[in-house]
Every structure is written in structure tokens, then in C-alpha cells.
Amino acid sequence: MNGDIHWTAWAVFAVFFALVTVLGFVASRWRAADLSHLHEWGLGGRRFGTFVTWFLLGGDLYTAYTVIAVPALVSAVGAFGFFAMPYTIIAYPFVFAVMPRLWNVCHRHNYLTLADFTEGRYGNHWLALAVAVTGVLATMPYIALQLIGMQVVFHEMGFGSVHNGSEIALAVAFVILALYTYTSGLRAPALIAFVKDAMIYIFVLAAIVLIPLKLGGYGAVFDAAEKAFSTRGSGGILLHSGQAMPFATLALGSAFALFLYPHAVTGTLAASSGNTIRRNAILLPIYSVALGLIALMGYMAIAAHVPASGNHVVPALIMRSFPEWFSGFCFAAIALGALVPAAIMSIGAANLVTRNFWRPYVNRNMTPKQESTVAKVTSLIIKFGALVFVVFLPLKFAINLQLLGGIWMLQVFPTVVLGLFARWFRSTALLAGWALGMLLGTALSWSVGVKPIYALPGIGSVYIGLIALFANLVLASILTLIMNRGNSDADADQTAATDYEDAVPARS
Amino acid sequence: MRRILLLIPFVATLIVPLYNWQTPMLWGFPFFYWYLFALIPIASLLTWIVYRIERS
């Protein structure tokens, strides 16, 4: 495919990329503040209202990799790939109930990360470290996958005879990203998210109207998919018997894990109030409609007989269905869809490294300026690490690690989510539960060839993240009951019950 | 108690046999698909109702 260079597509792409690069640097002066404070650089000063937060979180959670990988899965296996829909439907009622409490307590105590909260709530360094390590481990491969989202787009536009063209393009894009993230912090992806999300909506609207029109309507698209699956002898546009349980547990586990990821936490804590988050829990589902429609492109690709498979399905479908200039526009939308989350992920991970590794273990008495410098440099290193990852290691490695990352992320659920509602568990019990969950989850997944699903005898196939979470909770509960026979350790708690409630009666 | 409304989307999506059907179709979409699409605004509406009750 590297034979042709699609100059028109590249030109349109370059125009939009240049536009957001300017925006990324200008962002440092948007709602100007002293960026040498970590809560300004890394959380945008916690001042983003409903509107900005909607774009920021939407741009953050619905990533380029989602746009590429979800339709790829749908075109390969059918209905099962749609677990992303129940997943994002239930994620928001969960966010509504949980995240405003997190925002309140973090705002009151100037916590920037989940590990900061854990430290304050439980007074246990090791548990806080466990939460921080989990976040960084789960984020690294996720950033790498964003790069892969960009890479497939570059590939589709072609490089002619240029060797390693996509690696060079990736490196250029990432150096630019790294520079404006360094100077502008969270303000850069927040501002770019407006452009990115608007472009994604235009791309999706065009795709869901124009492509089925060419293919004879949605009925024809579903028929073609059903025929293709029955010819292949696998998959289908409905779930087969035995698929319901993994479908539902994968949706539930993913929904629980989503807002534990550092990039989701960063986007949430940057909001200006608990009510901003509540309103976003009501409004963010609009993105889920877009996600569902994007998933349908998997079937459209089958119906259009796109000569590509896996991650190349969507770019190939775009190239085939649209004039070249509009393909360039769509590709720019997808590439920006990689940059926004990659920036926020690296900021979220940098906040963790600064607050929960550097401060407790390297320099206890950092000035605000030193703190923000550590975070800025860390964000550079993390992005560089992800780039090295993608260029030098096999693709499968990043995908496997990202899958394990979801399982790992769920293991901080008892500490963080349950911890937001009650201070019942002993911190050492939570740490033991976490360790068990991490080991069991990794081992079970490994034993089936790094897959998310494990067949439990007598129950059926279940998402491994939930199995590990169950073991985690059981162990933490038993140990807490045993240890509480003496005295409780609740006096280590620096937070008060009212810290979790809205400060003023919920009017804003 | 109003927060029970937030559980409805969980029940409606996680009990898969409720909607793993081809028919009734809507605009060419099998039931499985349009049901899930329809649930998105419904879940949103339920969350909004809880928000309104809690604010007043």
C-alpha cells in the first residue's frame, strides 16, 4: 500500500494538524494563570465548566484507538464487539453517583491523583504507591495504542518510496505534541478537544448517512454482515449462546474501570464543581451515540467489501467511500483523536509520578515550581517511552498490555470507589486484596493466551477483571474482619464525612 | 431511594436475553441494535431526573 502517496489527503491533514499545533501553544495563555503550579499545569486550575469539560472528557475517553479498534472488532466478530455500547451506557450513571464525591474530597484537600486521595484516606504509603503504580502501568500501553491509531491513518495516506515513513511521521507528531503539552499542560488538550470533537462529529455524520446510502441502506448493511458471518462460520449480528455472559461482564468491568484510569481522573478533577460532573454524566452519552455509529462502520466495511482487515478497516472504508480531500479531513480527526487523549494520559501519569513517587521518595520538600517541573519532564519521558514502545516492539505487545491494564485498573476499585463511601476496610487488607487481584488477574489472562475472558466451571465465561476483583474484595473483607477484632485504624483518616458532600446546597 | 433510577440502565443492559433478538426491526436495524441506541437517551434522562430531584 506504500506505493501511492495521496497528496490531497496529506495536504488537508497537514492544514488541520498545523491549526491545532498553534492552538496547543496558544492554550498556555487561555484562562491565564501561573503554570508553574501543578494544579494549574496538570488540572487546568480546576476551573473547567460544563461545556469545556464535556469536550475535554469526550475527547479524552473516546480515543483514536476506539475509532479504529471497535469497528475492527465488530467486522471480525460481529455483535460481541458492541459490548462497548452497554459499557458506555452504564458508565455514566456510575460517574454520576461516584465522581462528584471524588471531586469534592480532592478539591478540599488539594489532591491531584487517586493515590493522593488514598494516602489521605488511609494514611498508608504502600497502598497509595500501589494505586499509583497501577495507574501508570495501565496508562503506558494505552498511550502506545493511541500512536497505533495514528500510524494506521498515516499508512492509508501512503508514503511512496519513503522508508519508515510512518515512524518518521509519528515521531514528528509526537515531538510537537510533547512540546505543547510541556508548555501548556492540560489547557492544550482541552482547547484542541473542541476542534477534534467537532471534526469527529462531522466525520461520523457523513459516514453514517453517506456510506449506507451507497450500500442500499442499513437493512442491506446488516444483511451483508449476517451473510459474511455465516459464510465464515463464526461471529454473527446477534450474540450466540454462551456469549451473553462474557458480553455483560466485560461491559460491567470496563465501566467500573473507565473512571479509575489516570486520564479520566485528570479530566474529572479539572472540572469546576461536583455539579459540572453531574451535568456531564447526563450529557456525555451523546458521545456514546457516536461510538455506536462508529462501531457500525465495521459492518459497513463488510458490506462495501473493503479489502482490508483488522485496524485498517476504518481508514480503508473512509478512503473508498469519500473524496480524497474529505478522507484527509477524517484522518486528521482520527489523528487528533489520538493526540488529545495521549496528552491527557501523559499528564495524568506525570501527576502520579510527581505526587506519589517523587514527592514521598525523592524530595519531600518540593516547591510548587519544582513540582510542576518534575511533572513536565515526566510527561516528556512518558510520551517518548510510548513512542519507543510502538516503533521497536511488536504491536501485539501493546495490545496485550492494554488488555491487562484494564484488569489491573479494576483492582483499585475497593480502595478508591468503596473508599469514597465508607472507611471500613483496613488499608493493609486492601493492599493484600489488590496484590491478589493483580496476580490472579494476570495469571488467569496469561493462562488463556492473554485474553480477557476465562471460563469458570459451572458459571460460564466471565471477564477476568471481575473474577480478580471478586477475589480481591473477598480477601480484603476477611482480613479486615480479622484485624478489626482489636482496634480499628480509622484514625489515620485525614478526611471528614462532609468533605465528600457539595460545599453549598447544590445550586450553581 | 431516587438513586434506584440509576440502576435501571444496569439492569436493562446487563440482562442480555432482554434484547438479543432480531425482531422487531426498526429502519433496518435488528432489535439488539436499536434497543441499545434507544437506551442511551433513556439512561441520560433517568440521570437527569435524579439530578433535578436532588437539586430541589
A451: CB partners within 8 A, 6+ apart: A403, A445, A464
| A101 interface with B at CB cutoff 8 Å | no
pLDDT for res A6: 83
Q: Is the pLDDT of residue A288 over 60?
A: yes
Name chain A contacts of B28, Cβ cutoff 8 Å.
217-222
Whether A244 and chain B come into contact, CB under 8 Å, resolves to yes
Q: Report residue A3's pLDDT band, with 50, 70 and 90 as the boundaries.
A: low
Question: CA of B23, closest CA in chain A: separation in Å?
Answer: 11
**Mean of the per-residue pLDDT values of chain A:** 86
Is A89 in contact with B9 (Cβ distance < 8 A)?
yes
Q: What is the CATH topology of the domain spanning A17-28+35-500?
A: Sodium/glucose cotransporter (1.20.1730)
Question: What band does A487 get if pLDDT is binned at 50, 70 and 90?
Answer: low
Residue of B32, B39, B55 lying closest to A89 (CB–CB): B39
CA distance B35 to B18: 10
Determine contact, residues A158/A5, Cβ cutoff 8 Å.
yes
Residue A502 at interface with chain B, using a CB cutoff of 8 Å = no
Inter-chain CB proximity B51 and A282 less than 8 Å: yes
Is A507 in Cβ contact with B28 (below 8 Å)? no
pLDDT at A418 over 90: yes
pLDDT tens-digit series, residues A230-253: 888 888 888 888 888 999 999 999
pLDDT of A320 reads 85
Which of B13, B28, B30 is opposite residue A89, by nearest beta carbon? B13
Sorting pLDDT into bands at 50, 70 and 90, what band is A393?
Answer: confident
Whether the upstream peptide bond of residue B24 has omega within 30° of 0, thus cis, is yes
**pLDDT tens per residue, range A28-82:** 777 777 777 777 877 877 888 888 888 888 878 888 888 888 898 899 889 998 9
CA distance B34 to chain A (A): 10
Q: What residue ranges do the domains of chain A occupy?
A: 17-28+35-500
Q: What is the mean pLDDT of residues A330-346?
A: 87
Of residues A15 and A470, the one with the higher pLDDT is: A470
Tell me which long-range contacts A291-294 makes (C-beta under 8 A, separation of at least 24): A291/A62, A291/A66, A291/A70, A291/A84, A291/A85, A291/A88, A292/A82, A292/A84, A292/A85, A292/B33, A292/B36, A292/B37, A292/B40, A293/A204, A293/A207, A293/A208, A294/A66, A294/A67, A294/A70, A294/A71, A294/A204, A294/A207
pLDDT at A271 over 70: yes
Q: How far is Cα A64 from Cα A151, in angstroms, rounded to an integer?
A: 11
Question: Nearest CB to B40: which of A248, A288, A507?
Answer: A288
Question: What is the predicted pLDDT for the residue at A158?
Answer: 78
Residues of chain A with C-beta less than 8 angstroms from the C-beta of B51 = 96, 278-279, 282
SS3 B10: helix
Q: Percent of chain A scored above 90 by pLDDT?
A: 27
> What is the SS3 string spanning A434-467?
HHHHHHHHHHHHHHCCCCCEEEECCCEEEEHHHH
Give the 3-state secondary structure of A357-378: HHHHHCCCCCCHHHHHHHHHHH
Amino acid at A220: A
Higher pLDDT, A12 or A374: A374
Question: Where residue A255 falls among pLDDT bands split at 50, 70, 90?
Answer: very high
8 Å CB contact between A144 and A166: no
What ipTM does this complex have? Answer: 0.92
Nearest to B55 among A222, A244, A506 (CB): A506
Task: Give the chain B residue whose CA is nearest to the CA of A240.
Answer: B20
pLDDT of residue A2: 45
Cβ contact, residue pair A248, B50, below 8 Å: no
Residues of A in contact with B41 (CB under 8 A): 285
Categorize the per-residue pLDDT at A168 as very low, low, confident or very high, splitting at 50, 70 and 90: confident
Question: Is the pLDDT score of A506 beyond 70?
Answer: no
Give pLDDT tens digits for A466-479: 999 999 999 999 99
pLDDT over 60 (residue A160) = yes
Query: Other C-beta atoms within 10 Å of A325: how many?
Result: 13
The per-residue pLDDT for range B9-52, each reduced to its tens digit, is 999 999 999 999 888 988 889 999 999 999 999 999 999 999 98
pLDDT at A372: 85
pLDDT at site A129: 93
B47 vs A219, A281, A288: nearest CB: A281
Q: Is the pLDDT of residue A299 over 90?
A: yes
Q: Which residues of B touch A248 (CB under 8 A)?
A: 13-16
- List CB contacts (< 8 A) between B46 and chain A: 93
Predicted pLDDT of residue A504: 66
Q: CA angle, A489 as apex, A487 and A495 as ends, to 5°?
A: 140
Q: Which residues of B touch A204 (CB under 8 A)?
A: none
> In which band, very low, low, confident or very high, does the pLDDT at A132 lie, cut at 50, 70 and 90?
very high
Residue whose C-alpha is closest to residue A119's, from A492, A488, A426, A429: A492
Phi-psi region of A394 (alpha: psi -120 to 50; beta: other; left: phi over 0): beta
Query: Would the pLDDT of A508 be above 60?
Result: no
